[in-house]
Structure 1
Amino acid sequence: MNPNPVASASSTPTSVSSSSSWFSGLVRMRSGKPTVSANNTSSSSAGEGPAPLGGRRNQLHGVLFKYGPKSVQVAFKTGDFRQQVIFIGGLTDGLLATEYLEPLSIALENEKWSLVQPLLSSSYIGYGTSSLKQDSLELDQLISYLINKENSEGVVLLGHSTGCQDIVHYMRSNSACSRAVRGAILQAPVSDREYRATLPGTAAMIDLASSMINDGRGMDLMPRDADPEAPITAYRYHSLCAYMGDDDMFSSDLTDDQLRLRLGHMSNTPCQVVFSMADEYVPDYVDKKALVERLCKAMGGAEKVEIEYGNHSLSNRAQEAVRAIMDFVKREGQDWDDPWS
């Protein structure tokens, strides 16, 4: 899910230079979002929130490394520890995608965990020509890198918005490296389909996407009006917008059996669902409390965290998000047995 209202989430590590570099010029694809910089680090405690350093916020000190063969496959890591929280953003997301990542990185370092923010082929405007399957493959490459190059002792996956679908899909894949996942956190697992259904023209575009797929043109691009933010294939549009499309995992109109079919395998992994009770991308007709209850039940009893008045990205409740995430990491991330020992 895109927090903007649109027609829609290995080489040796290299330390980021303390001088200005191309990395400091990476910017969010959304207007008004901060520039990512690796020049400084915040020094306040997570409980108090990050203090501006030199009058500037949203700055993290860490390492940028390459985890796969594609040029986009880089990740930014804060903290130098053998257990990592991997953040997977939603549509149009990239580095520093949510306001809580900066205070979260500080809180994790205090508990000797690293925060890893990967770029995937689907990051920024790449989501329209990618898929959950591709994201899953690249996530597995990242975890493999952390295991083999960083001696990782296990990871916790943290998904925001459409990144939650990535986690669910990855854990279903039973990839070898998925055994390194100690726990999964789904923050804002909401329905792209239900949100996009509120936008004009969606029904006609779904029909067009279905027709293109039936004609063997699923990887062809849809008309620009389908998604003004990014080029999007017929397959990905159908996946996001159609009933029971591949991305359709959290819709309120799915039956309990359908939810269990899509989410039931998550019962094998400690899970937390962090749901914003004022999420602007959940239509008004949806009973949020009933939905989050059903999602947690379908996942075999996942931990439920309801954040009152929280918006989709929890930019207005960042500290509550950090507390909930850290409580889960400290509780479920411990006492983990190495699956390869």
Structure 2
Amino acid sequence: MNLSTSASLASTSSSSSSSWLSGIVRGRPGSFKMAKNSSNPPSAASAAAVPVVDGAGPVNKKNQLRGVMFKYGPKSIQVAFKTGDYRRQVIFIGGLTDGFLATDYLMPLATALEAEKWSLVQFLMSSSYSGYGTSSLKQDALELDELVNYLINKEDSEGVVLLGHSTGCQDIVYYMRTNTACSRAVRAAILQAPVSDREYNATKPDIASTIDLATKMINEGRGSELMPRTEDSDTPITAYRYHSLCAYNGDDDMFSSDLSEDQLKQRLGHMSHTPCQIIFSMNDEYVPEYVDKKALVNRLSKAMGGAEKVEIEWGNHSLSNRVQEAVQAMISFITREGPKGWDDPWS
């Protein structure tokens, strides 16, 4: 998805009567599919292909990010890194085991956002790296809210776009359900690789007995205790988080293909109030072979009130083999019709 933006944010007027949010809502029902032969060299207009001069822009010739690191909360892990110094931010929320620079598209995305006068914010939370096993979606939402609050009060943010990768998509869905005051500053959400941890884990041997053990521990009031170490995992994980990720109807069970229409709507329906884009990799290695990916994307979009669908042929889970397509789709969505003024989230 190579960059083709409709308007530079630098030239937009904050006094226009038409809001960016209303503009992107008008564009939501659309859907497009990436070309299969997407390995062609990027065009000169591609943001990921924007020439980078040492000393300018967020990425230098040594493939290093320039930016500002800051604390957004009281915990030692609550550190964030921001490229660009703009009042509109895209917040990247990684998946299990992720931290800074979790996906290959983040560097070119930072360059593309710089051209459009947006900042990219990456942050660490209690669940980053190996911390996910002793954390929860609730804890992630609390810390994400602290970050958004920091950007509003310390950076004079005019609004944020949430970009989730893998389990980061669950974080976005959970956070937007909390309906906190700061969540009103979320202009839009991008779900990249919203896949089912439960369906993937179901392909592992002896999973049923391990889920039974987690359920037993929870019923005994020991949900916060660690599960016995398994052969395929070096990460300590509580009974609660294991059940959340692996059991039917667990807290993390949001994108499974066997959920009914009503179940999907119950889990995702509130996202209809937020402009959303679903980016789904059609060769995602974490989606079992039996799952009809196209049908699943359609069902997720419907449950979210008609979210925009982007299907990337041959794309893997993190889109490391389709970086250009990923950046183009994200930038096209973020900058659609520009912002022509910002709706004050507190009014």
Q: TM-score, normalised by structure 1?
A: 0.84
Q: Distance in 2 between matches of 1:113 and 1:227?
A: 40
Distance 2:51 2:132 in 1: 30
Deviation at 1:339, TM superposition (A): 1.6
What is the rounded CA distance, in whole Å, between the counterparts of 1:259 and 1:149 in structure 2?
37
Maintained 8 Å contact 2:218/2:239: yes
Cα distance in 1, alignment partners of residues 102 and 69 from structure 2: 16
Q: Who is 2:35 aligned against?
A: none
After superposition, residues 19-98 of structure 1 pair within 5 angstroms as: 46-48=47-49, 56-57=62-63, 59-98=64-103
Query: 2:328 matched to which residue of 1?
Result: 323
Structure 2 residue 345 is the aligned partner of structure 1 residue 339: yes
Distance in 2 separating the partners of 1:327 and 1:89: 21
- Aligned-partner Cα distance in 2 for 1:229–1:52: 42
1:148-187: CA deviations, max 9, x gaps? 0000000000000000000000000001100000000000
Query: Kindly, what percent of the aligned residue pairs are identical?
Result: 76
Which sections of structure 1, spanning at least 5 residues, go unmatched? 1-43
Secondary structure class of the residue paired with 2:47: coil
The answer to whether 1:208 aligns with 2:209 is: no
Q: CA deviation at 1:227?
A: 5.7
- CA-based RMSD: 1.7
**Could you tell me which residue of structure 2 aligns to residue 256 of structure 1?**
261
**2:280–2:312: 8 Å Cα contact kept in structure 1?**
yes
Q: CA deviation at 1:47?
A: 3.9
Correspondent of 2:166 among 161, 168, 172:
161
* Equivalent residue for 1:186, pick from 163, 179, 191: 191
Change over 3 Å in CA distance of 1:49–1:220 after alignment to 2? farther
2:200 pairs with 1:231 = no
Distance 1:161 1:286 in 2: 17
Unaligned runs of 5+ in 2: 1-44, 55-59
Q: CA separation in 2, counterparts of 1:96 and 1:52?
A: 21
Q: Name whichever of 257-266 and 228-237 sits farther off.
A: 228-237
The letter for the 1-side match of 2:270 is H
For residues 50 and 98 of structure 1, the distance between their equivalents in structure 2, rounded to whole angstroms, comes to 21
Q: Distance in 2 between matches of 1:135 and 1:176?
A: 16
What is the aligned length? Answer: 297
Question: What is the alpha-carbon distance in structure 2 between the residues aligned to residue 55 and residue 157 of structure 1?
Answer: 28
Check whether the contact 1:49–1:319 (CA below 8 A) recurs between aligned residues. no
Q: Which range moved further: 191-200 or 323-332?
A: 323-332
Distance 1:50 1:200 in 2: 48
Q: Which has the higher contact order (CA 8 A, sep 6+)?
A: 2
| TM-score, with length taken from structure 2 | 0.83
- 1:182 alignment partner, SS class: strand
